[in-house]
Chains A and B, each alone.
Chain A
Amino acid sequence: MKALSQRRRHPLAAVALLLMGLMLTGGLYAVATTVNKAKADTTYSADDAHEGGKLFVANCATCHGMGASGSPDGPSLVGVGAAAVDFQVGTGRMPMQLQGPQAQQKPKQFNDEQTRQLAAYVASLGAGPAVPEEKYLDGQGDAANGGVLFRVNCAMCHNAAAAGGALTRGKFAPALAGVANSHVYEAMITGPQNMPVFNDANITPEGKRDIITFLDTIEANGSPGGADLGSLGPVSEGLFIWIAGLGVVIAFTIWLTSRTS
């Protein structure tokens, strides 16, 4: 302890303290968020639906109408199912921040329990896609088959490396790194925003599991060839060679010729 107090005026003491503080808060936060991830079961009680109804009236009915029957500002939610609610509310897209080409992701407004209750309420209004079963979300499928399916069905909007891409008139397909497996699955079965629906006849639940496995694999593996420059393909490579590559070369040419003329 004495050794520690002696070094308290060391120039790096503040840095060390800052580092410890950051690691502590980061660690605690990580623990807290994994606790939150405790999976909700898919059967809803009448009580859930009732509580969800109250949340809906307070937060969603302005646009989606009483009883989720829709209004000029928002579509009817009868029959969209629990999966749609879990995706839209769980990723923070709903309640929507502002009207625009498409709902943007933002910090989520409801905790998992409230999201579950909202899902229960919307599910009680009419039959629709349910929150996916845990067995399809484990990321233990066939990554290679998932890659094939991804390239055929998803890459044209989301980019082959899932780095995202542009759609018309300000809409876009987001990057998929960091998206929860359940949300990827729900997006496929509900088709949020401009995304088409990939129902179970289109891509089987096992196929969806493979796609999720593929996404998990490429995200976990990182880039084998060094910094990936955003996985955006030749444009970022071209920018890099013109700015960094030629920049360094020019610096060297100036250095080599600096002693004369």
Chain B
Amino acid sequence: MSAATESTYTPATATGRITNFVDQRVGGSGILREFGRKVFPDHWSFMFGEVALYTFVILLLSGTFLTFFFDPSMAESTYNGSYVPLKGVDMSVAMNSTLNISFDVRGGLFMRQVHHWSALLFTASIAVHMLRVFFTGAFRKPRELNWVVGGVLLILSLADGFTGYSLPDDLLSGNGLRIIQGVISSIPVIGTYISFFLFGGEFPGTAIIGRLYVLHILLVPAMILLMIAIHLFMVVVHKHTQYPGPGRNDRNVVGYPLGPVYAAKAGGFFFIIFGVIALMAAFFTINPIWNYGPYDPSPISAGTQPDWYIGWVDGALRLMPGWLLGIPLEWNIPLPWGVNTLSLNVLLPALVPAGIVFTVLFAYPWIERWVTKDDREHHVLDRPRNAPTRTAIGMAGFTFYCVLWAAASSDLIATHFHVSLNDVIYWLRALFFIGPIIAFTVTKRIALALQRKDREIALHGRETGRIVRLPHGEYQEVHAQLDDYKRYKLVGYESPEPSDGVPNGNGVVTKQERRRAMISRLFFEDRVAPATPAELEAAHAHAPVHEQIEEPERLKEVSH
């Protein structure tokens, strides 16, 4: 720094002088030099995190516009705006101002739709980003903590989505809020108290919209921003992962530097995302609160669902029977201070599936680390097929989620596919249990089959379909060998072997270690080993005739 401050360099242009002035005070060129040289590998599946970041920026911009006109008050008012089918209807000020944004503020409806569509895209891109990270094994050391931060970001985005969904105080979101209130009340002993504190009295009360508003625009976004900062900081520290390929290993990153190519691409990508959302907002309506009308605890509309990201919890509630084998799932338990109701038909579906999904999600990096005893850093990703058990576990979880998700639209499945609503529920209940098992088995078999195919192609090349008759009468099919770059992709992966229990310092294989060995076998016992150099050598040299007949094929390939 001291060298920089004493610099006698005077730039020729005015811009140069201003830049130099700033640089001497904040050291911008050093930062730029450091960040501009950061290398990012290029792959389309690496860009979902960026999509999430950009939609969050769009959410901040459009949300700020909406706060100018939205009034989170639950005071009673009479609508007197432009939308005729609601003229003269009593509603809360929150609903009234949202209708005004939609019909009387210039560009208001567009901004509302921009905000809501980008909220849906925000959560969707986070979900896809996490799926990519999971299936490619990018959560492994050193990125376990960043995986956790990502999981927290997912939960925060759901929280911000739900609080925002409730703000207009329309019939749809009011019913959603009522379900949440029901879930809270089902928590034993303290549930009703939490509900009372949250809603400031009996549901719906006059406080909840204002409180959700503060959470929605202040606390949750602030936490999201903090988590994004930590998330990105760790990305910089860890460097980006890359797909396997020739010349790529755990000690390098192959790709483009941030400046100028990647910075330009990323900047342009922001405007692409903004453009896509703006087009959607302009041509497709979302959350038409004027259809739903103001919230009133008595009516409900058919086809009432939460936004997609809360759908799976709603689906779990729909799947849960109230009675099981003739036994009611709701008990009134007499306790010294009075009768408490234990409502398992609400408590279990609301908390258990979400509990399972998030526990496994957060714990998975450590589960795999424990099973493989792998303490090395990994910067090269796995192709999903090359980690069959992990991929199978991921697909099982994905299926579990999707069954619940589908259950949230059970009524629409029934009407649109002309089937009985009851049958939809029965089938989804069955799939809730067997779907993940089927998905696990099928995925694992597909992954292993793909690995065998890769191995076959690496060893023997691709079938060309050209049959050649040799001078002595033998028929052979000509196989085209892959070039070295393509072959590397098929053989250059790690394939852990099942590890037996390792004795500890006292020479004893502990129970826990034996359990670990068992799970390790489950993970890796049917592994398909990548072709070794010796195998490749043997396969390619096994028949001189083979070599001969391949010659013209190769020449042909070169000639065109």
User: Within 8 Å CB of A168, what residues of B?
Assistant: 420-422
Q: Are B293 and A147 in contact (CB under 8 A)?
A: yes
**Contacts A156-B302, A169-B420, A242-B308 supplied; 11 other A-B pairs, CB < 8 Å:** A151-B296, A160-B301, A225-B288, A227-B285, A234-B306, A238-B308, A246-B125, A249-B273, A257-B43, A260-B256, A261-B43
Please tell me which stretch of B59-67, B408-416, B441-449, B453-461 contacts chain A, meaning at least 4 of its Cβ atoms lie within 8 angstroms of it: B408-416
**B81-98 CB contact bits vs A (8 Å, 1 = yes)?**
001111111000000000
Instruction: Name the distance in Å between B144's Cβ and chain A's nearest Cβ.
Output: 26
Q: Are B84 and A254 in contact (CB under 8 A)?
A: no
User: Within 8 Å CB of A144, what residues of B?
Assistant: 84-89
Q: Which of B263-305 contact A (CB under 8 A)?
A: 265, 268-269, 272-273, 276-277, 280-288, 290-293, 296, 298-305
Given contacts A224-B103, A234-B307, contact A240 B284 (CB under 8 A): yes
The dominant DSSP class at the B interface is helix
User: Within 8 Å CB of B285, what residues of A?
Assistant: 223-229
Given contacts A170-B420, A214-B85, contact A164 B415 (CB under 8 A): yes
For this complex, 23 residue pairs linking A to B, each with C-beta atoms less than 8 Å apart, are: A143-B84, A144-B84, A144-B88, A151-B293, A152-B298, A155-B301, A156-B300, A161-B301, A166-B411, A214-B85, A221-B84, A223-B288, A224-B103, A226-B284, A227-B285, A229-B284, A233-B172, A233-B305, A234-B307, A237-B286, A237-B307, A245-B280, A253-B269
User: Within 8 Å CB of B305, what residues of A?
Assistant: 233-235
User: Within 8 Å CB of B268, what residues of A?
Assistant: 256
Q: Are B286 and A225 in contact (CB under 8 A)?
A: yes
Residue of B nearest to A217 (CB): B85
Does chain A have a CB within 8 A of B354? no
Instruction: Name the distance in Å between B129's Cβ and chain A's nearest Cβ.
Output: 11
The 3 closest A-B pairs by CB, nearest first: A165-B302, A238-B308, A225-B285
Does chain B have a CB within 8 A of A94? no
Q: Are B85 and A224 in contact (CB under 8 A)?
A: no
Instruction: Name the distance in Å between B538's Cβ and chain A's nearest Cβ.
Output: 31
Q: Are A160 and B293 in contact (CB under 8 A)?
A: yes
User: Within 8 Å CB of B47, what residues of A?
Assistant: 253, 256-257
Instruction: Name the distance in Å between A41's Cβ and chain B's nearest Cβ.
Output: 32
Given contacts A214-B85, A224-B103, A225-B288, contact A232 B412 (CB under 8 A): yes
Q: Give bound CA distance, A261 to B41, whole Å.
A: 8
Residue of A nearest to B242 (CB): A261
Q: Which of A148-175 contact B (CB under 8 A)?
A: 148, 151-152, 155-161, 163-170, 172-173
Q: Are A161 and B288 in contact (CB under 8 A)?
A: yes
Q: Are A159 and B421 in contact (CB under 8 A)?
A: no
Q: Are B42 and A155 in contact (CB under 8 A)?
A: no
Query: Which one of B117, B301, B418 contacts A241 once the chains associate, using CB atoms below 8 Å?
Result: B117
User: Within 8 Å CB of A225, what residues of B?
Assistant: 102, 109, 113, 284-286, 288
Q: Are A245 and B124 in contact (CB under 8 A)?
A: yes
Does chain B have a CB within 8 A of A28? no
Given contacts A156-B299, A224-B285, A252-B276, contact A170 B419 (CB under 8 A): yes
Q: How large is the interface on B (under 10, 10 to 19, 20 to 34, 35 or more residues)?
A: 35 or more
Residue of B nearest to A252 (CB): B272
Q: Are A238 and B42 in contact (CB under 8 A)?
A: no
Query: Which one of B128, B299, B409 contacts A151 once the chains associate, using CB atoms below 8 Å?
Result: B299
Most chain B CB neighbours (cut-off 10 Å) among A144, A157, A173: A144
Q: Give bound CA distance, A109 to B306, whole Å.
A: 42
Does chain B have a CB within 8 A of A101? yes
Q: Are A256 and B308 in contact (CB under 8 A)?
A: no
Q: Are B282 and A226 in contact (CB under 8 A)?
A: yes
User: Within 8 Å CB of A57, what residues of B?
Assistant: none
A binding-site residues for B, Cβ under 8 Å: 101, 143-148, 151-152, 155-161, 163-170, 172-173, 214, 217-218, 221, 223-229, 231-235, 237-238, 240-242, 244-246, 248-250, 252-254, 256-257, 260-261
Q: Give bound CA distance, A234 to B170, whole Å.
A: 14
Q: Give bound CA distance, A237 to B116, whole Å.
A: 10
Q: Are A228 and B421 in contact (CB under 8 A)?
A: no
Query: Which one of B44, B51, B304 contacts A254 once the chains associate, using CB atoms below 8 Å?
Result: B44
The dominant DSSP class at the A interface is helix
Q: Give bound CA distance, A254 to B300, whole Å.
A: 43
Q: Are B85 and A233 in contact (CB under 8 A)?
A: no
Q: Give bound CA distance, A238 to B406, whole Å.
A: 11
Q: Are A241 and B302 in contact (CB under 8 A)?
A: no
Q: Give bound CA distance, A161 to B287, whole Å.
A: 12
Q: Give bound CA distance, A64 to B268, whole Å.
A: 70
Given contacts A241-B124, A250-B44, A261-B42, contact A226 B412 (CB under 8 A): no
Instruction: Name the distance in Å between A191's Cβ and chain B's nearest Cβ.
Output: 17
Most chain A CB neighbours (cut-off 10 Å) among B265, B272, B298, B408: B272
Query: Which one of B45, B269, B282, B304 contacts A233 once the chains associate, using CB atoms below 8 Å?
Result: B304
Q: Are A226 and B124 in contact (CB under 8 A)?
A: no
**B411-443 CB contact bits vs A (8 Å, 1 = yes)?**
110110011111000000000000000000000
User: Within 8 Å CB of B88, what residues of A?
Assistant: 144-145
Q: Give bound CA distance, A158 to B302, whole Å.
A: 6
Q: Give bound CA distance, A107 to B296, whole Å.
A: 39
Given contacts A224-B285, A231-B288, A238-B307, contact A147 B412 (CB under 8 A): no
User: Within 8 Å CB of A223, what residues of B?
Assistant: 285, 288
Q: Which of B133-153 contact A (CB under 8 A)?
A: none
**B397-415 CB contact bits vs A (8 Å, 1 = yes)?**
0000000000011111011
Does chain A have a CB within 8 A of B120? yes
Instruction: Name the distance in Å between A39's Cβ and chain B's nearest Cβ.
Output: 26
Does chain A have a CB within 8 A of B536? no
Instruction: Name the distance in Å between B122's Cβ and chain A's nearest Cβ.
Output: 10
Q: Are B89 and A147 in contact (CB under 8 A)?
A: yes
Does chain A have a CB within 8 A of B121? yes
User: Within 8 Å CB of B302, what residues of A?
Assistant: 155-160, 164-166, 173
Instruction: Name the distance in Å between A8's Cβ and chain B's nearest Cβ.
Output: 38
Residue of A nearest to B269 (CB): A256
Instruction: Name the distance in Å between A228's Cβ and chain B's nearest Cβ.
Output: 5
Instruction: Name the distance in Å between A248's Cβ and chain B's nearest Cβ.
Output: 5
Does chain A have a CB within 8 A of B171? yes
Given contacts A241-B117, A249-B273, contact A148 B89 (CB under 8 A): yes
Q: Give bound CA distance, A144 to B85, whole Å.
A: 4
User: Within 8 Å CB of B276, what residues of A?
Assistant: 245, 248-249, 252
User: Within 8 Å CB of B113, what residues of A?
Assistant: 225-226
Q: Are A143 and B85 in contact (CB under 8 A)?
A: yes
Q: Give bound CA distance, A214 to B43, whole Å.
A: 52
Given contacts A170-B421, A226-B113, contact A165 B307 (CB under 8 A): no
Query: Which one of A143, A160, A246 contacts B291 once the chains associate, using CB atoms below 8 Å?
Result: A160
Query: Which one of A164, A238, A245 contacts B311 once the chains associate, using CB atoms below 8 Å?
Result: A238
Q: Are B120 and A238 in contact (CB under 8 A)?
A: yes
User: Within 8 Å CB of B296, what residues of A?
Assistant: 151-152
Residue of B nearest to A149 (CB): B299
Q: Are A242 and B124 in contact (CB under 8 A)?
A: yes
User: Within 8 Å CB of A228, what residues of B?
Assistant: 285, 288
Query: Which one of B46, B128, B269, B410 contacts A252 once the chains associate, using CB atoms below 8 Å?
Result: B269
